[in-house]
Amino acid sequence: MKQILDRDGHLSQADALTASRTELLEIYRLAKLTRRADEEMLRLQAEGLGDLSFFVPSFGEETAHVAATLALEFDDLIFRGLRGSGIALARGVDLHAFFAAALGCDQAMGRSLPGLSAEPEFSICCGSARPAASLMPAVGAARALALKGQAQPRIAVAFFGVGSTQHPDFAGALELATHLESPVLFLATSDRQGPSGEIAARAENAGVSAEYVDGDDAIAVFESVRSLSQIVRQDGRPGLIEMAVEFPEPGGNPGSNPAHDRLGNFLKSEGLLPDDLSREINRAIDREVVEARDAASNLKTQEPRPPSEQIFAEVLCRASADLEGQDQNYRDFDAEYGGSEDPDARCLL
C-alpha cells in the first residue's frame, strides 16, 4: 500500500511530495468543510426539515475525495455516486446551493438524492444512486472525450465505493474500459479493515493499471491521482486507484478522523498550520455552514410547495400534450382547492 505520510503525520518519502503548500492547506480545509457540512446535513435530516429524506454522508472518505479531486484537471469529467459531498465542494460548488438542493428549495435541483445533482459548470455529471451506476457511463464518456481529439486531452473519472465492486457492472466496466482503451480513471474507496488491495488486484487482472493507496494519507492520494491521471491522459488507457480508508465505527465518534489528523499533524510540523490559523479555519467553516444552512432553511419555509412548472418541466426537451394537460389539471386543482383548510381536499394535491 502506497503511503507517504505515516499514521502520525511524518513524511516517509520526502521526494514523493510535489503538492504545494497552498494545495495541502486547501485539502485540509475542504476535508474539514465537507465533514462539517455532512454533519449538519444529518442533523437537518434528523429534524425532518424539508425534503431531506435520505442523506448519505461521506464520513471517512472525504479527505481522499477532496485530495483526489484537487489532483485532477478542472475540466476532467467526474461521475459520482452517493457520498460525494467532498467532490462537489472541492470542485467549487457553492455551499448555499449544496444545502438548497439537498433541502429541496429548488425542486428542479432537488429531484435526485442530495449530492447527486448535475454541476456542468464544474464538469460534474448528474449522479445515480444505484450501485456501480457511474462506472460504465464514465468509460463511454472517456471514449467520447478521446474521440474529440482535443489538444489538451480530458479524461473521465468515476468515484465509487466498495459496494459498487460487488456489482457485476464493476467487472463489466473494467472489461469495457480495456476494450475501448478509454482514458478513464476509476477511484475506489475501500475499507482498510477489509481485504487488502483486492479491488486494485481485480483491476490489474483485467488489464487496468492500478495502485493501492492509503486513503487516509491525503498526500499519497493526491500524488497518486495526479500521477496516474496524467498517464491515463497521455496513454489513453484506463487506470484505477484503490484508496483504503478508515470508516467511523457504528456508534463510534463520528467526529474523529484519522485522515484529517494525519494531514493536520504534518502541516503543523512543517509550520504551515499554526494554532491560530487552525482555529480560524474551523471558525470560518462553522460560519459558512451555518449561514448556508439557515439560508436554505428559510427558503424552504417560504416555499413549502413547488410551482407546477417545476414538476412538469424537463421531462422531455419539449413538453408533450399529455404533460401540458396534467400541468393544467394541477393548476386548476390548485386554484380551486389550494387554499382550502379541508385536509381531504388538500391531500389530493
Partner 1 sequence: MTTDRDNFPADPGVDNRPMSDMATQILEGLTKAMLADDKVLCLGNETETQGGLFGATRGLVEDFGPERVLTLPDNPRAQLATALGMAHAGLRPVLSLNFGDDVLGALDILCDDIATLRYRSGGQNSCPMVLRLPSGGGIGAGPAHSRDLARELGGQAGLRVVACGSAATAKSLIEQAIRSDDPVVLLEPKSLYRERAAARVAELDRALVLHQGDDLSLFAWGAAVPVAREAVEQAAELGIEIELIDLVSINPLDEETILSSLRKTGRGVIVEEGSKRGGIGAEVAAVIAERAIDSLEAPLLRVAGWNTPLSRCGEELYRPDCGRVMRAVEQVIDF
203 lines the binding site for partner 1 (CB under 8 A) = no
Over the Cα atoms of the chain, what is R_g? 22
Minimum Å gap between C-beta 210 and partner 1 is 20
Q: How far is the CB of 293 from partner 1 (least distance, A)?
A: 21
Q: Which is nearer to partner 1, 74 or 194 (CB)?
A: 74
The three-state secondary structure class of 272 is coil
Measured between its terminal Cα atoms, the distance across the chain in Å is: 56
Name the helix (H) or strand (E) containing 138: helix 135-147
Q: Which three cell numbers stand for residue 303?
A: 416555499
- The residues, any chain, with a CB within 8 Å of residue 220's CB and separated by 6 or more, are 2, 3, 4, 5, 16, 213, 214
Q: Which residues from 160-179 bind partner 1, rule CB under 8 A?
A: 168-169, 172-173, 175-176, 179
Give the nearest distance from C-beta 186 to partner 1 in angstroms: 13
Question: How many chain residues bind partner 1 (CB under 8 A)?
Answer: 48
The residues, any chain, with a CB within 8 Å of residue 116's CB and separated by 6 or more, are 80, 81, 82, 84, 126, 127, 128, 129
Q: Which stretch binds partner 1 (CB under 8 A): 5-13, 134-142, 241-249, 280-288?
A: 134-142
Candidates 52, 70, 90, 180; binder of partner 1 (CB under 8 A) is 180
SS3 304: coil
Residues near 202 by Cβ (< 8 Å), separated by ≥ 6? 165, 170, 171, 174
Which one, 282 or 326, has the nearer CB to partner 1?
A: 326
Kindly write out the interface string for residues 298-337 of this chain, putting x where it contacts partner 1 by CB under 8 A and - elsewhere: ---------------xxxxx--xxxx--------------
Binding site for partner 1 (CB under 8 A): 77, 79, 106, 108-109, 111-112, 116-120, 125-126, 128, 130, 133, 135-145, 147-148, 156, 168-169, 172-173, 175-176, 179-180, 313-317, 320-323
